[in-house]
Amino acid sequence: MRAQADRLRALALLALVAALGTSAFAQTDFFGRVVSGADGAPVAAVKVAAELRGVNRDAGATDAEGRFRIDPSSLFGVQRRIGEPFMLFFSKSGFLTVSRQLQIGATPTEIRATLTPESEAVLEPAERERLDRLVRGGARGPLFLVPYDLPAEAANLSAAASTERLRANLERAIVTHVQSNSLISTGGAVGLSLLPLDAVKDVARLKSYGAHLKALAVITGFGALEDSGGRKQIVMSSTYVVVPTVASIDSFVIYVDDTLPADQLASPRLQERLSKLWGRTTVLALGMNEFRDARAAGDQARLRRVREYLRAERAGAGPGNDQFVTQLNRLIALLDREIRP
Amino acid sequence: MESGAGSSHLFDPMLELLDQIVGALGKVGITLPALVVQLFLLALVGAALYPVARAIAGRQQLPIALPAAVALVLAVIGLVYGIVDQALLPSYVSGVVASATPADVRVQLLDYQSRIVTMGEGRIDSDTGAFALYYRPWLDGPARTIVITGCRGTDSLKIDLPRAHVRAGTGSQRRYACAG
C-alpha cells in the first residue's frame, strides 16, 4: 500500500516537473529591433503580427528605438505546439513588409528586421550604386533634375545644353517664387542639382531615385518635335515628383504639358508656367523639410513661420489645385498639432 | 529544383489509385473535401460488400462472388488506410523559395481539385525564403500541388508535390527556384 502511494507521488512529481518544463520552454519570448534599410535608423511604430496555422494575431508595435518583444504563448496558447514554425510580420506604410519564420520554443535570439522603403524596391542594386556614385562629392541636394529627353535639333542645342537651360529656368522660377513669399530659411538657394542620368519617364523610378537620394523632389520631362504648318515646335511634358519626407504626406506627381516654338525653351511663357507650378510645388517640398527640422529642434517660432507661409500659399492656390491643397492641408494640420497655443 | 528527402511507401501505389478515383469524381462535378468523398466511397463499397457476403454465405454464384468479395475487401482496406494515412500526415509542408523579390512571393498548396487549401497568407521569410504552409490533410487530403506567385517576370509556378515530400513535413527542405 505504502509502495503504491510512493509510486503515485513520484508520478505526480514527474508530471509536475514535465509540465513546468514545457511551460517554461513554451514561454520563450522573441525580441529584436527593426531598422530602416535606407539609413539603418530604428523605425518606430512598426506593426508586428504573428501567424500560426493561418491564425493572425496582432503582437503590438515597435517602440521609439525600433524595439519589440513578443510572447507566442500568450498569443497562441502554444503549450502543445513546441517546434511548430510560425511567421512574424513587420509592416509599416511606405515600407515593404518583412517576414521572419521562427519556431515555437526555439532558443531566443535577437531578431533584426530591415525594412526596405517601398519606393526603393524598384531600383536594382547596380542602379543604387550608380546614383550613389553620381551624388558623391557634394552634389546631393534637396531637388534633382533628371535630364529632359529633348530632340537636340529642336533648339539647335545638345540635349545636355537644353536641359541645362531648363535647369537655369527652373531654378530662377523656383527661387523667384520662394523669395517673393520670403519662405523659410532657404537663403535664396534651393539646391537644384542636375543628375547626368538617362532620361526617365517611369514615375515609379523617379520616386525611387528621390527616396534613395533623400531628395525633396525629382523633376524630369521629355519633348517631341512636331511640324506645324512649316513651323517647328516642341510638345513638352514635364513631371515633378514630390518625395514625402514627413509621414502622412503622400508622394504626389504634377505633370505640365506645353507646346513651344522649338527655339523658345527659355521663353517667358515657359518660365511663367514653371514659376506657377514648380515654384508652388517646391514650397510644399521645402515646407516639409522645414517642418521636420523645426520639429526636431523644437523651434516654435520657426514652426509658426512655416505655417503662416503655407497658409498664404493655400490662399493663393486658386481652383484646379486640389491635390496640392490636400497635401498642404495635411501639413498645416501637422503643424497645428505641434504648435503650442 | 532540388528534391527533398522522403521515403517511398509500400502503400503509395494504392493511395495513388485512390487519388485518381477522388480526382475523377471531382472532374464530374463532385467537389467535396477529400475526406467526405472517401467516406462516401467507403459507404458505397460497404453497401456492395453486403450482398456479396450474403451470396458467399449462401454459397450462391461463388465463382463470381469470391473474387468480387476479395476486390471489395481490398478496396475497403485501401480506403481505410488512405483515411488513416492522411490523418497522420504532418499539418504543414515546408520548403525554401529562392527569389530576388521575397516580399512579393506568395506560396499556396492546392488539393486534388486544384483548390487552395492553405491557411494563412503564404508569405516566405524575407531573408532565407523559408516557408511552412499549414493545411488540414485529414480533411482535404494530401496537398498535390504547390503554387508560387510573385516571382519577377513570371505569372505563377505550379509544381507537383510527391507524397513522400508531403509526408516528410518539416523533415524536408525542398528548394524552389523563382525566376527573377
Indicate whether B77 pLDDT > 80. Answer: yes
User: A44 has which bridge partners?
Assistant: none
User: Is there a single domain that holds both residue A103 and residue A147?
Assistant: no
User: Is there a single domain that holds both residue A192 and residue A333?
Assistant: yes
| Top mean-pLDDT range of A277-281, B2-6, B114-118 | B114-118
Q: Which residue has the higher pLDDT, B128 or B27?
A: B128
Would you state the pLDDT for residue B61?
Answer: 72
- In which order are the strands placed within the sheet that holds A143-145? A192-194, A143-145, A217-228, A231-242, A252-261
Whether the CB of B123 is below 8 Å from some CB of chain A: the reply is yes
Q: How confident is the model at residue A62 (pLDDT cuts 50, 70, 90)?
A: very high
A328/A325 Cα distance (integer angstroms): 5
Measured between CB atoms, which of B101, B119, B131 is closest to A53? B119
Our CA-based measurement puts residue A251 at a distance from the nearest CA of chain B, in whole angstroms, of 21
User: Is there a single domain that holds both residue A101 and residue A133?
Assistant: no
Domain extent, residue A31, equals: 24-116
Whether the CB of B121 is below 8 Å from some CB of chain A: the reply is yes
User: Is there a single domain that holds both residue A180 and residue A283?
Assistant: yes
Indicate whether A290 pLDDT > 90. Answer: no
C-beta neighbour count of A199 within 10 angstroms: 14
**Residue B132: its chain A contacts at CB < 8 A?**
84-87, 101
Measured between CB atoms, which of B119, B123, B132 is closest to A85? B132
Measured over the CA atoms of residue A61, residue A63, residue A68 and residue A74, the dihedral's sign is negative
Q: How confident is the model at residue A67 (pLDDT cuts 50, 70, 90)?
A: very high
Domain-embedded: residue A50:
yes
Q: How confident is the model at residue A133 (pLDDT cuts 50, 70, 90)?
A: confident
Domain-embedded: residue A256:
yes
CB contact under 8 A, A121 and B103: yes
User: Is there a single domain that holds both residue A218 and residue A266?
Assistant: yes
Measured over the CA atoms of residue B18, residue B24, residue B25 and residue B27, the dihedral's sign is positive
Domain-embedded: residue A124:
yes
Q: Out of A36-45, A89-98, B81-90, which region has the weakest mean confidence (pLDDT)?
A: A36-45
Would you state the pLDDT for residue B108?
Answer: 92
Q: Which residue has the higher pLDDT, A179 or B113?
A: B113
CB contact under 8 A, A100 and B127: yes
User: Is there a single domain that holds both residue A64 and residue A141?
Assistant: no
Domain-embedded: residue A4:
no
Report which residue type is found at A84.
E
CB contact under 8 A, B128 and A121: no
User: Is there a single domain that holds both residue A106 and residue A147?
Assistant: no
Of A76, A95, A116, the residue at which a domain comes to its end is: A116
User: Is there a single domain that holds both residue A245 and residue A318?
Assistant: yes
- What is the CATH number for A32? 2.60.40.10
Would you state the pLDDT for residue A26?
Answer: 47
- pLDDT averaged over chain B? 79
| Top mean-pLDDT range of A130-139, A251-260, A264-273 | A251-260
Average pLDDT over residues A100-128: 81
| Top mean-pLDDT range of A176-185, A293-302, B130-139 | B130-139
Query: What would the pLDDT profile of B23-72 be if each residue is shown by its tens digit?
Result: 777 677 767 787 888 888 889 888 888 888 888 877 777 677 788 888 88
Q: Which residue has the cell 510527391?
A: B162
Would you state the pLDDT for residue A48?
Answer: 94
Would you state the pLDDT for residue A17?
Answer: 45
**Residue A87: its chain B contacts at CB < 8 A?**
120-121, 123, 125, 132
Q: Which residue of A has its CA nearest to B90?
A: A84
Of A66, A85, A116, the residue at which a domain comes to its end is: A116
Alpha helices by DSSP H, listed for chain A, are: 2-26, 72-76, 125-135, 159-180, 203-213, 268-297, 300-315, 322-338
Q: Which residue of B has its CA nearest to A50?
A: B120
Q: How confident is the model at residue A24 (pLDDT cuts 50, 70, 90)?
A: very low
* Number of domains chain A is built from: 2
Domain-embedded: residue A16:
no
pTM of the model: 0.56
User: What is the length of chain B?
Assistant: 180
Query: What would the pLDDT profile of A196-235 be if each residue is shown by its tens digit?
Result: 777 777 777 888 888 788 788 888 888 787 877 777 777 8
Would you state the pLDDT for residue A19?
Answer: 47
DSSP state of A106: P
Three-state secondary structure call for residue B106: strand
User: Is there a single domain that holds both residue A285 and residue A137?
Assistant: yes
Whether the CB of B38 is below 8 Å from some CB of chain A: the reply is no
Q: How would DSSP label each residue in B80-92?
A: HHHHHHHHTS-SE
**Residue A86: its chain B contacts at CB < 8 A?**
132
Measured over the CA atoms of residue A189, residue A190, residue A191 and residue A192, the dihedral's sign is negative
Domain-embedded: residue A1:
no
Measured between CB atoms, which of A52, A53, A101 is closest to B130? A101
User: Is there a single domain that holds both residue A104 and residue A137?
Assistant: no
Indicate whether A10 pLDDT > 70. Answer: no
A212/B151 Cα distance (integer angstroms): 24
Domain-embedded: residue A3:
no
Query: What would the pLDDT profile of B91-103 be if each residue is shown by its tens digit?
Result: 888 889 988 778 8
Of A60, A88, A116, the residue at which a domain comes to its end is: A116
User: Is there a single domain that holds both residue A224 and residue A126?
Assistant: yes
Indicate whether A3 pLDDT > 60. Answer: no
Indicate whether A88 pLDDT > 80. Answer: yes
Domain-embedded: residue A6:
no
User: Is there a single domain that holds both residue A226 and residue A293?
Assistant: yes
Would you state the pLDDT for residue B2?
Answer: 36
- What is the CATH number for A148? 3.40.50
